[in-house]
Amino acid sequence: MKTFEELESAVRSYSRGWPTVFNKAKGYKLWDTDGKEYIDFFAGAGTMNYGHNDDTMQQKVIEYIQNDGIIHSLDMGTTPRKEFLENFKEIILTPRKLDYKIMFPGPTGTNTVESALKIARKVTGRETVISFTNAFHGMTIGSLSVTGNSFKRHGAGVPLHHSVSMPFDNYVENHDSIAYLERFLEDSGSGVALPAAIILETVQGEGGINAARIEWLQKIEELCKRWDILLIVDDVQAGNGRTGTFFSFEPAGIEPDVVCLSKSIGGFGLPMAITLIKPEHDKWGPGEHNGTFRGNNLAFIAATEALSYWKNNDFEKEVQEKAEILKTAVSTIIEKYPELNGEARGRGLMQGIAVEEEGLATEICAEAFQRGLIVETSGPKDEVVKFLPPLIIDKVGLEKGFQLLDDSINYVLN
């Protein structure tokens, strides 16, 4: 059999870090072709919040295919599309007293971000967008231009314009990033352009599991209102319950103008994204933003089933309880291994340990893989060991995963 290296472009990445061939997955476990079992602390970078091959989602998708349901439909009206829209409104938006128009921007996280940037510029007639240090918003020219990662930007070949990067919360110790931003906005007109939008992740997933404080988010919203700037929350990774509530911004009580969701919105890994737009900003003309794969009906079926997790508060409570277990496990590791100089990061089931020594986090993750734990690094220098288990993981799974991590750290340090 040919290797991935022989067959694929040099751009391939995950198959390098985890050099095996995976072929089966269920819940929070994966198996490779040798039958070796792995605990999943990665969840497809936040796509598998409800676990791999959820029984009901699997059954509903199979039944739909067997009944000759329409698979692809562009954005024609179909039963699964209608059911998803109705359920999203009823289960997610209405109980949270949120009012948004729902848009299908294309199948990926990058697509929803791209649509959000466009609508902000269209609504305000302004060109630039403020984003934050270490932000990650996607790989197309627009979404990459608001991504604060020099390595990824290098992939575009030439410099990208139309965005201004501001310090994220706690980017510089004892530095008031809000005052800085406010001063910047006050200077608009003096050569500084007033932006169309501010785009942010409440917890930066790729940028190092940096969690913004609630007060910081509230102040950003206040600034946006004062300056008539649209607030875009990119909840592609932190949303869908990842941080303990369906939307990551709920604890802050803020109401973004635009919300980007993808990854786990498609239920169990089917490509799907939605953009939520406050009704007063829904200024698209019909067909102004289209794309062939906006109507993935298999994804709508799984996505509607996934919403049933949110019909009452039980799942939210469960996730929050597991987040506490994760937090304790993280601090236990940090205390047990003072050599790591570890720092706990994150919120909900999106946590990490930042380690000081360069290359150490990568070494730990590589060792963990050998022992059967899938865990990846995050941060501009890959300095954070990042924990992103499926939300359906149980206590046993979390404990088993942390035992493998503990053994790996012990091995790497000795």
Q: Residue 241 or residue 342: which is nearer to ligand PMP going by CB?
A: 241
- Binder of ligand PMP out of 138, 244, 256, 348 (CB under 6 A): 138
What is the pattern of x (binds ligand PMP, CB under 6 A) and - over residues 151-190? ----------------------------------------
For 40, the token pair is 């999943």
3-state helix, strand, coil split of the chain in percent (to 5) is 45, 15, 40
Contact 348, 386 (CB under 8 A): no
Q: How far apart are CA 233 and CA 134, in angstroms?
A: 15
Residues whose CB falls within 8 Å of the CB of residue 214, separated by 6 or more in sequence, listed in order: 251, 252
| Residue 45 vs 70, nearer CB to ligand PMP | 45
Question: Burial of 326 by CB count in 10 Å (0-12 exposed, 13-18 middle, 19+ buried)?
Answer: buried
Q: Which of 14, 45, 315, 380 binds ligand PMP (CB under 6 A)?
A: 45
The residue within the footprint of ligand PMP, chosen from 51, 80, 106, 205 (CB under 6 A), is: 205
- Could you say which residues in the range 270-299 bind ligand PMP, by CB under 6 A? none
**In the complex, what is the shortest distance from the CB of residue 18 to ligand PMP, in angstroms, rounded to a whole number?**
17
Please give the structure tokens belonging to residue 362: 């990568």
Binds ligand PMP (CB under 6 A): choice among 27, 44, 51, 109: 109
CA distance 70 to 223: 45
Residue 275 in tokens: 């953009």
Q: Which residue lies nearer to ligand PMP by CB, 113 or 230?
A: 113
Nearest distance from C-beta of residue 369 to ligand PMP, angstroms: 20
Give the shortest CB-182-to-ligand PMP separation in angstroms.
25
Q: Out of 113, 233, 385, 392, name the contact with ligand PMP by CB under 6 A.
A: 113
**Residue 348 within binding range of ligand PMP, rule CB under 6 A:** no
Binders of ligand PMP among residues 211 to 240 (CB under 6 A) are 234, 236-237
Side-chain-side CA neighbours of residue 163 (13 Å): 26
Rounded to 5°, the CA angle 232-235-241 comes to 145
**Residue 215: CA count within 13 A, CB half-sphere:** 4
Q: E strand or H helix at 412, and its extent?
A: helix 395-413
* Residues facing 210 on adjacent strands: 204
Cβ(65)–Cβ(281) below 8 Å: no
> Of 6-14, 149-157, 201-209, 316-324, which part binds ligand PMP (CB under 6 A)?
201-209
Least distance (Å) between residue 341 CB and ligand PMP = 26
Total residues in contact with ligand PMP, by rule CB under 6 A: 15
* Residues at the interface with ligand PMP (CB under 6 A): 45, 108-110, 113, 136-138, 201, 205-206, 234, 236-237, 262
